[in-house]
Structure 1
Amino acid sequence: MIGTAILLAAGQSKRMQLLTHKGLLYWEGKTLFEHQLQMLLHSVLSDIIVILGHEAELLVNMANKYPVKTIYNENFKKGKCSSIICGLQAADKDSEMILVTSVDQPVDSSIINQLVLSMKDTDQLIAIPINKGKRGHPILFSRKIFSDLLLINEKTQGLRNIIRKYKNQIIEVPIDSTLIELNINTPEDYQNAVKRNATEEKLNNH
Structure 2
Amino acid sequence: MRSRPRVAGLLLAAGAGRRLGGRPKALLRHRGRSLAEHAAANLADGGCDTVHIVLGASAAEIPTPGGCHRVVNPDWSDGMGSSLRAGLAALPEDAEAVVVLLVDQPGITPAAVARVIAAHREGAELAVAAYEGATGHPVLFTRAHFPGVARLAVGDAGARGHLRAHADRVVRVPCHDVAYPADVDTPADLRLLIGGGPAAPTGSWCGRVSLSADSTP
Please report the TM-score for the alignment, with normalisation by the length of structure 2.
0.82
Structure 1: tracts of 5 or more residues without a match = none
The answer to whether the 8 A contact 1:135-1:181 is kept is no
Alignment partner, residue 34 of structure 1: 37
- One-letter identity of the residue aligned with 2:115: Q
Alignment partner, residue 177 of structure 1: 177
Alignment partner, residue 186 of structure 2: 186
SS of 1:98's equivalent in the other structure is strand
Counterparts in 2 of 1:11 and 1:131: CA distance versus 1, 3 Å: same
More helix by share: 1
The equivalent position to 1:21 in structure 2, one of 17, 20, 24, is 24
Alpha-carbon distance between aligned partners in 2 of 1:138 and 1:190, rounded to the nearest angstrom: 21
Q: Give the percent of matched residue pairs that are identical in Structure 1 and Structure 2.
A: 24
The answer to whether the 8 A contact 2:131-2:174 is kept is yes
The answer to whether the 8 A contact 2:12-2:53 is kept is yes
Counterparts in 2 of 1:202 and 1:94: CA distance versus 1, 3 Å: closer
Counterparts in 2 of 1:180 and 1:169: CA distance versus 1, 3 Å: farther
- One-letter identity of the residue aligned with 2:37: E
SS of 1:5's equivalent in the other structure is strand
Aligned-residue RMSD, C-alpha: 2.2
Alpha-carbon distance between aligned partners in 2 of 1:74 and 1:155, rounded to the nearest angstrom: 14
- One-letter identity of the residue aligned with 1:119: H
Task: Deviation per CA, 1:129-165: give whole Å up to 9, x if none.
Answer: 1122222211111222122122123269442111111
Alignment partner, residue 4 of structure 1: 8
- One-letter identity of the residue aligned with 2:132: K
The answer to whether the 8 A contact 2:20-2:186 is kept is yes
